[in-house]
Structure formats: C-alpha cells, structure tokens
Amino acid sequence: MEIKKNKKNLRRDLLNRDIPPSFIEENTEKYSRQFDKEASEKHSYVVFKLGNLWLALDTKYLFQTFDEKYIHTIPHRSDGFLLGLVNVNGNLELAFDLKKIIDVGRGEPIVRRMLEVGNGKLKFVFSTDDIAGIVNVSTDKIEELPDEIARDSFFKARFFEHNTQVMIIDDEAFFRFIEKKLNE
C-alpha cells in the first residue's frame, strides 16, 4: 500500500515540478526562429486550370471564386478577349477570356468556376476549367523559367504540385497586358 502511494506521489511530483528557466528560454528561441524561417520561405497561390494547363496567381490579387455566371456582352466592344460584364454581388465586373491570350491547349472543363482578381487599379473576372484551391509553396520548390520562355509568355516560374506542373503567372506583365487591351 505504501509503495503504491509513493509511486502516485512521484508521478504527481514529476508532472507538477517547475520548468527550469533555461529550458523555456532555449525552446522559445528555437521554435520562434524556426517559425519565422518557415513563414518567410512560403508563397501563397490560387491554383486553377485553363485548358490543359495548371496556372497559379499570387493570392494577394484574389478577391473571390464563384460558380460561373452569365456574361452580358457589351455592344461593339465584346471582341472575344473582352467577353462582357458579370454581376458579382451586385457589382458589374469586366469578364475576360484568358484562353485568348494564353495558349493553353484544349481541355475538357471539369468544373466551370470564375475568379475575381484585381491589382488595386483594375478588377475583373475570368472563367476557369477547374480550381485546385490555395496552395502554399516553399521558395525552394519554385523553379525560375529560362528567359526565352518567360519573355514570350505571362509566366515567370513554375512548381510541381502532386506531380503536376503549375505555371506561375507574372502578375505585373499580366495586369499590364489587361490594362493595355482595355485602352485599345
């Protein structure tokens, strides 16, 4: 009986003992340094499919995703690239066909969804064939594209997600092109 009581006290004393200050300081420093390192080495992208190509756009440009909606054409202005206007929560937003500017091949749409994106000066929507979601990509997983490929496209880099190549859109070139097309 006495042995059982002593074991019980030992367990309680072991769990209720004070933690040495050096242990707290050492682990606080270790884990905060590791957290900062991990946070600074990741980029967040919305990944979507156009045709046969999976694309990624920085999430800072994403406003929302929604089921495909009816596009109202604009007389004498809807030209294939600019499709028209879409009602998004009571606001009329420009709708573009990205397949007209990005050679994506032909693919069967799995789920027709729309993305609303913007850069502060411009906000618009476009249809996608599928949306994989938001992914956080470590910078060491991102591969820069050769200059000749990046120069002739809207892509600046790529990464692989579940053995699938995902091309990262060069957001500056992308939004600059959209603005230029609007001013034509």
Locate the domains of the chain by residue range.
Answer: 2-39, 42-182
In sequence order, the β-bridge partners of residue 64 are 116
**pLDDT reported for residue 42:** 86
Q: Where does 42-182 sit in CATH, by number? A: 2.40.50.180
pLDDT tens for each residue of 28-59: 776 666 555 555 588 999 999 988 889 999 99
Question: CA dist 121 to 55, 83, 126, 144, 176, Å?
Answer: 22, 20, 17, 27, 11
- Residue 121's nearest CA partner among 175, 45, 181, 62 is 175
pLDDT tens for each residue of 65-98: 999 899 898 887 766 788 889 999 999 999 988 8
Whole-prediction pTM? 0.72
